Amino acid sequence: MGGWAIAVHGGAGVDPNLPNERQEEAKRLLNRCLDIGISALRSNLSAIDVVELVVRELETDPLFNSGRGSALTEKGTVEMEASIMDGPKRRCGAVSGLTTVKNPISLARLVMDKTPHSYLGFAGAEEFARKQGVELVDNEYFITEDNVGMLKLAKEANSILFDYRIPTLTTCGGSAAMENQLQMNGLPISLYAPETVGCVVVDKQGHCAAATSTGGLMNKMTGRIGDSPLIGSGTYACDLVAVSCTGEGEAIIRSTLAREVAAVMEYKGLNLHEAVDYVIKTRLDEGKAGLIAVSKNGEVACGFNTTGMFRGCATEDGFMEVGVW
C-alpha cells in the first residue's frame, strides 16, 4: 500500500480572465476541504466517510455549483443531484431532482446504506429524505444573487449555459447570442458560473471511494439529469481506483468517463496517470471535461481538456497542491 491520498475538485472550465481575488477564494476553499479530509484520514476515517465529509463542506459553501449556490433551472428553481460510491464492494447511491435537501451527497449515502436501491429521484427522493430525517431547507436557501443574474442572461440569450460557457451580449440587432459551442470564454467575470464539485479518496487500508455533487446547467430544462449522479459516468470507484468527473455532462455520459479510467487500468494495464491521460485525450470526442482520481496504491492524478480546473490533492507522504490552471 502506498498510504492514503485525497483529491478534490470545484469544476472544470475556468475563464482565463478570472480575477485574482476569485482565484484565491477558490483556493482557500479547496485548501480548507483538503485540510478537513487530511485530518479525517489521519484519524482513520474510512474513504467513504471522508468523501462524504468533504463534499458536504463544498455543498455548504456557495462558491461552487452544488448545494447552496447551485445553478438554476429554466423556472428559476434549484434541482440538485449527487452520487457516492464505495470501492471495495462497488456499493453506490445516487439522487436527482432534489429541491429541499441541504446536503444531497448525504442523501445519496443514505440511499446506498439504507435502501435496496442505488438511485432515487425527484418526489421519491424527497420523500425518502423526510423519512430519514435529514436537514431540509426552503429552495430559496440554495439560490444566490449571482445565479439569478446568470439565469437572466441565459434567458436573454435563449440558451442553456454550461457552467463555464456563458453567452455574450452583442449590439447587432440588440439581441443576445451564444458564443461558439467550442469556446468557453469571453464573458465578463462578474457573470462567471462555477462548476460541479467532487472528492476521491484512498484510505490507509487501500480502499477507494468517490463522491460528486452538482446543481447542473444554468437554465436547464426541469427534470434534466446530468452525469454527476450516474455511476460510471460522473462517479466511479472499485477496488483499483476512484474517479469524479466534471464538465459537459452529456459528453461525460456518452463516454462513461469515470468507468473508462478503471477499464483501461484493468484491461490495458495502464497506471493511474497513463489511464487519466488516455481517457481525457481519446474518450471525449469534442467534449470538454476534467476528472480527479486516486488509486489503491496511494497515487493521485487529475486531467482536463478545458482552460483550467479548480482542484487540490494531498498524499500521506506530505505532498499537497492546489491549482486552477
Q: Report the catalytic residues.
A: 196
- Which residues are CB-neighbours of 28 under 8 A, at least 6 positions away? none
Tell me whether residue 247 is annotated as binding.
yes
Residue 245 to residue 287: CA distance in whole angstroms: 13
Greatest alpha-carbon pair distance for the chain in Å reads 63
Closest by CA position to 200, among listed 126, 114, 116, 294: 294
Cell representation of residue 183: 469556446
| Residue 227 is labelled as binding a ligand | yes
246 is in an annotated binding site: yes
Beta-bridge partners for 321: 313
Any known ligand binding at 248? yes
**Residue with C-alpha cell 483499483?**
240
Residue 64 Cα distances to 55, 97, 195, 311, angstroms: 11, 18, 6, 12
- In sequence order, what DSSP letters do the residues of 83-151 get, joined into one string? EEEETTTTEEEEEEEESSBS-HHHHHHHHHHHSS-SEEEHHHHHHHHHHHT--B--GGGG--HHHHHHH
Residues contributing to the annotated binding site for substrate: 224-227, 246-249
Residues contributing to the annotated binding site: 224-227, 246-249
